[in-house]
Chain A
Amino acid sequence: MLRVIAERLRQGYRTGQFPRVEPKLPARFRGLPELTPECPPGCAECANRCPFGACELREGAPALDLGRCLFCADCPACPQGLIHFTPDYRLAARKRELLWRQPGKELDLAWPLAPELRRLFGRSLKLRQVSAGGCNACEADCNVLGTLVFDLGRFGIQFVASPRHADGLLVTGPVSANMRQALLATYEATPAPKLVIAVGACAIGGGPFRGSPEVTSGLDSLLPVDLFLPGCPPHPYTILDGLLRLLGRRKTG
């Protein structure tokens, strides 16, 4: 027992101060992309160069779909170097089409649930996680929210074992053909009103496996999605920020 206490003292107090204090992310972290609208006339290279279909030309300027983007370190999309990734980890959105990043436009970050749902879930949100065909890194960064650095429990959010105890599903992975039925059954088993949260590029749009006949190219084609959290995988703070926004517990901006 004494040994336990001594070790505990040595390890120190580690619970993070988020959201009161902004997290410090490493300099090489790739978050919200910034687009500079200085495309040479006639260039539409990015639309062809992103292997994951995340880029296209909209209104004559490059646009980037955060839902499909994998935040690649060696993003080849723009030969002019007009796309670069900032350390901003806040990426959550409530609607699929709001994930399009366009130059000069602010990202419309997730807004809170309607008041009656907030009354229900605002102080206690139980989520059933369904892993459906991804690489398990999204799951790992959801799990990490339970460690004491993030300490999800202090916000009243918890992962539960049964869909019957859940207020919603948090889905990761591109919904493989083999998980489709189990996912839909889990959704059915969750009592209404219920939320659906898509975590990661896979769940939002098929991610790196987009185009395989074994996966779906977007959870929103199967279920109504209330919150989209981009990334491959999203940083734990991206997930936490999104969940808190949904519950109206994060200041806007």
Chain B
Amino acid sequence: MRSKQSVRIANGAKTPVAQIPRLDYDTFADAVLAEFDSGSRVAAYFAAQAAEGGLELYAVMARERNANFALFRTPLGERFQSLTPNCPQLHLFEREIAEQFGVTPEGHPWLKPVRFHASWRTGHDAWGREPGTHPRPGDMEFYQVEGDGIHEVAVGPVHAGVIEPGHFRFQCHGEQVLHLEISLGYQHRGLERLLAGGPHPASNRQMETIAGDTTVAHMTAYSKVLEGLAGQPAPPRAQAIRALGLELERLANHVGDIGALSGDVGFLPTAAFCGRLRGDYLNLTALLCGSRFGRGLVRPGGVGFDLDGGLDGQLLATLDGVQRNTLGACRLFFATPSVLGRLEGVGRVSRSTAEDLGLVGLAARACGVPRDGRFFFPTGVYKESFDEMITDELGDVFARARVRHREIEVSLNLIQRLLNVLPTGETASKIGPLSPDSLALSLVEGWRGEVAHVAITGGDGHFRRYKIVDPSFHNWSGLAMALRGTQISDFPLCNKSFNLSYCGFDL
């Protein structure tokens, strides 16, 4: 019989690092690929300094069917065989490892920097760049198509609207896009390095600003990692209030996105209504915690604010009107033939592409891929109160809009149920010391998709490595694929339909 190759843990749990078998690289590669073949997918894949010295590679595989995660690890040398040719969804993860630690995945078909920062190991650079200088963003070879009538369109980093920076290169034949390459890193703030040796007093606010529109999801993921490491879950009332914040965050963004799509296709009524309604959801979050983005709402150990002094009633009453207007604005949008005509069939991603690339969240669900952390890896109130995962079929702009619409209905419903049966009791518990030499992980379904956090502590209980995977990290490749064969003029619409985060990707 084969010896044990991995450790399996549940969402929010921890394990001593020593219990994760240290496989040699070839065994690791075979085990990880076998795990893929049996239907698992990558939730996180990263390198770290090993306690034993040298580098180590960790694979965190999500196993939807078993509601748990398989953890693999192996020592990592300066060069290793890339697994991307056999498993495309690893492509960015391996590039990230190369960039952060200056190691080389040999045979990687597309080995380029991800965020354009210097290697964390001074003197080791996967591209042999000058040590001591900051790499220039976008300094890499872009994929190019040649031939008659082929032209290239380059956009960004500064775009036309009030949006984050990124660089897009389109290879076009006339109006038709043959290929889109997306080069990011402009929002890179060095977050993972700031977290090394943490938790620090500044860590809470940094977690809340990984991606500002996903404050609650990231902060919840972080809090659960700490609670896992301390072996001290948040009290039930706090978990319910977190879910409330998370669903309000989903509503604000989904409603805002329907409005933005509406604006992009020139249907101004829903654009105007939803623009305002998005603000109403943000204001509901501010009613709860003073910040429209939920800053300060979630804290390790629980939540920073209670729903006291009749606030639950006030929320319910306000929500009542907002809900009616939201449903009305959405109904109008989906009942307008000229709108549907612009959305249908545009920016299609097939189910198999979505699975190969490891897309997550609503972008995956729109392609018919069942993937929702609230459903497969539920914690807290989601264990009892969530069974309505929404999927669609065609993976086009329309499907991504319709998933949002239906999820809006589910979230509204969920919030009402939450507010009606709010558990009583404490809203926070004190977190004890973090257990040393351990790994803890948590996955939270934010509005774009799963937010995955993994912490590895050293002997002192401080972070030896903190890994953040924003859903956008999985999904930008999906946008690039959606553009193939579409008109370049459909880019804004496709882009909005994914509405991915630059800062969440760039860290």
Tell whether B286 is near chain A: CB-to-CB under 8 Å: yes
Contact with A along B183-214 (1 / 0, CB 8 A): 00111111101100000111011101111110
Q: Which residue of B lies closest to A4 (CB)?
A: B269
Q: Is the CB of B213 within 8 A of A136?
A: yes
Q: Which residue of B lies closest to A30 (CB)?
A: B290
Given A30-B290, A173-B187, A137 contacting B213 (CB threshold 8 A)? yes
Instruction: Check A208 for interface membership: any CB of B closer than 8 A.
Output: yes
When distances are taken between beta carbons in the complex, the residues of chain B under 8 Å from A133 are 186-189, 503
A74 to B188, Cβ gap below 8 A? no
When the two chains form the complex, which single residue of B202, B269, B304 contacts A51, counting CB atoms closer than 8 Å? B202
Q: Which of A8, A51, A178, A232 contacts B116 (CB 8 A)?
A: A178
Residues of B within 8 A of A3 (CB): 332, 335-336
How many angstroms from the CA of A132 to the CA of B157 in the assembled complex? 10
Residues from chain B with Cβ under 8 Å of A162 in the complex: 160
Smallest Cβ distance from B453 to chain A, in angstroms?
16
Q: B286: which of A29, A159, A215 is its contact (CB, 8 Å)? A: A29
- The answer, among B193, B279, B293, for a CB contact under 8 Å with A233, is B293
A72, A141, A147: most-surrounded residue (chain B CB, <10 A) = A147
Which residues on the B side are within 8 Å of A139 (C-beta)?
162-164
- Look across to chain B and name the residue whose beta carbon is closest to the beta carbon of A143: B162
In the bound complex, what is the Cα–Cα distance between A134 and B279 (angstroms)? 20
Q: Are A179 and B187 in contact (CB under 8 A)?
A: yes
* Interface contact A182-B212, CB-CB below 8 Å: no
From B116, B162, B287, B329, A129 is in contact (CB under 8 Å) with B162
Q: Residue on B with the closest CB to A209?
A: B189
Query: A151-190, CB under 8 A of B: which get 1 and which 0?
Result: 0000000010111000000000110111101100010000
B320 to chain A, nearest CB (A): 14
B328 contact from A11, A28, A211, Cβ within 8 A: A11
CA–CA, A49 and B201, complex, Å: 9
Q: Are A214 and B189 in contact (CB under 8 A)?
A: yes
In the complex, the answer to whether B190 meets A212 with C-beta atoms within 8 Å is yes
With both chains docked as a complex, state the minimum distance between the C-beta of B98 and any C-beta of chain A, in angstroms.
18
A128's closest neighbor in chain B, by CB?
B158
Q: Nearest Cβ distance between residue A12 and chain B, in whole angstroms?
A: 9
Q: Which residues of B contact A74 (CB under 8 A)?
A: 204, 296, 299, 304
B205 lies within 8 A of A72 (CB): yes
A76 lies within 8 A of chain B by Cβ: yes
Is B169 in contact with chain A by the CB < 8 A criterion? Answer: no
Question: Is the CB of B420 closer than 8 A to any CB of chain A?
Answer: no
Whether the pair A73, B304 counts as a contact (CB closer than 8 A) is: yes
* CB interface residues, A 121-140, toward B, < 8 Å: 129-140
A235, CB-defined interface residue at 8 Å: yes
Q: Tell me whether B502 is interfacial, beta carbon within 8 Å.
A: yes
List the B side residues contacting A141 at CB < 8 Å: 292
B329 touches A147 (CB 8 A): no
B201 touches A232 (CB 8 A): no
A213 to chain B, nearest CB (A): 6
Q: Does A67 contact B (CB under 8 A)?
A: no
Residues of chain A within 8 A of B291, CB atoms compared: 29-30, 71, 73
Please give, as numbers and ranges, the residues of chain B lying within 8 Å of A22 by CB-CB distance: none
Q: Which residues of A contact B186 (CB under 8 A)?
A: 132-133, 176, 178-179, 182
Chain A residues with CB under 8 Å of B160's CB are 161-162
Chain A residues near B283 (CB-CB < 8 A): 26
Assess whether A14 is interfacial by the CB under 8 Å rule. yes
Task: Say whether B289 contacts A73, CB under 8 Å.
Answer: yes
Contacts of A25 in B (CB 8 A): 286
Interface segment among B36-44, B270-278, B358-366, B391-399: the answer is: B270-278
- Secondary structure of the B contact surface, majority rule: loop
Contacts of B325 in A (CB 8 A): 10-11
The answer, yes or no, to whether A43 is at the interface (CB within 8 Å) is: no
Q: Does B238 contact A (CB under 8 A)?
A: no
Nearest Cβ in chain A — how far from B11, in angstroms?
A: 25
CB pair A134 B503 closer than 8 Å = yes
Closest to B268 in A: A4
Interface pair B205/A70, CB less than 8 Å apart? yes
Identify B287's interface contact among A26, A209, A232, CB under 8 A. Answer: A26
B147 within 8 A of A: no
- State A132–B297 Cα separation when bound (angstroms): 26
Cβ contacts under 8 Å, B299 to chain A: 74
Q: Are B276 and A14 within 8 A (Cβ)?
A: yes
B117 at the interface (CB under 8 A from A): yes
Q: Mark A76-101, 1 if CB is under 8 A from B, else 0.
A: 10000000000000000000000000
Cα-based distance from A233 to B282 in the complex (angstroms): 13
Output the nearest chain B residue to A146 by Cβ-Cβ distance. B275
- CB contacts (< 8 Å) of A134 on chain B: these are 187, 209, 212, 503
Residues of B within 8 A of A209 (CB): 189-191, 194, 206, 209
CA distance A182 to B205 in the complex (A): 27
Question: Please, how many angstroms separate the alpha-carbon atoms of A187 and B230 in the complex?
Answer: 49
Are A29 and B290 within 8 A (Cβ)?
Answer: yes
CB of A144 closer than 8 Å to a CB of B:
yes
Assess the A11–B329 pair: CB atoms within 8 A: yes
Contacts of A130 in B (CB 8 A): 158, 165
Any chain B CB within 8 A of the CB of A148?
Answer: yes
Residues of B within 8 A of A131 (CB): 162-165, 187
What's the minimum C-beta distance from A126 to chain B, rounded to whole angstroms? 13
Q: Is the CB of B502 within 8 A of A136?
A: yes
Q: Give the complex CA separation of A71 and B304 in angstroms.
A: 14
Residues of B within 8 A of A62 (CB): none
Within 8 A of B (CB), among A197-224: 207-209, 211-215
Distance to closest chain B CB from A239 (angstroms): 12
Near A by CB (< 8 A), chain B positions 286-312 give: 286-293, 295-297, 299, 304-305
Asked if B215 contacts A137 (CB within 8 A), the reply is yes
Cα separation A14 to B287 with both chains bound (whole Å):
20
Residues of A within 8 A of B117 (CB): 177-178, 214
Query: Does B370 sit within 8 A of A, measured CB to CB?
Result: no
Residues in A with CB closer than 8 Å to B279 are 144, 147, 149
Contacts of B205 in A (CB 8 A): 51-52, 70, 72, 208, 232
Residues of A within 8 A of B190 (CB): 209, 212-215
Q: Can you name the residue of chain A whose Cβ is closest to the Cβ of B166? A: A131
* Complex CA distance for A49 and B202, rounded to whole angstroms: 10
A55 beta carbon closer than 8 Å to chain B: no
6 pairs, A vs B, C-beta closer than 8 Å: A7-B331, A8-B269, A14-B276, A28-B290, A159-B161, A212-B189
Instruction: Add 10 more A-B contacts to A28-B287, A144-B282, A208-B205 (CB < 8 A).
Output: A7-B332, A135-B212, A140-B212, A146-B275, A147-B275, A179-B187, A186-B158, A208-B208, A208-B209, A212-B194
The 5 nearest A-B residue pairs measured at CB: A73-B296, A137-B212, A28-B290, A135-B212, A161-B160
B residues with CB within 8 A of A:
115-117, 134, 136-137, 157-158, 160-165, 185-191, 193-194, 200-202, 204-206, 208-213, 215, 269, 272-273, 275-276, 278-279, 282-283, 286-293, 295-297, 299, 304-305, 325, 328-329, 331-332, 335-336, 501-503
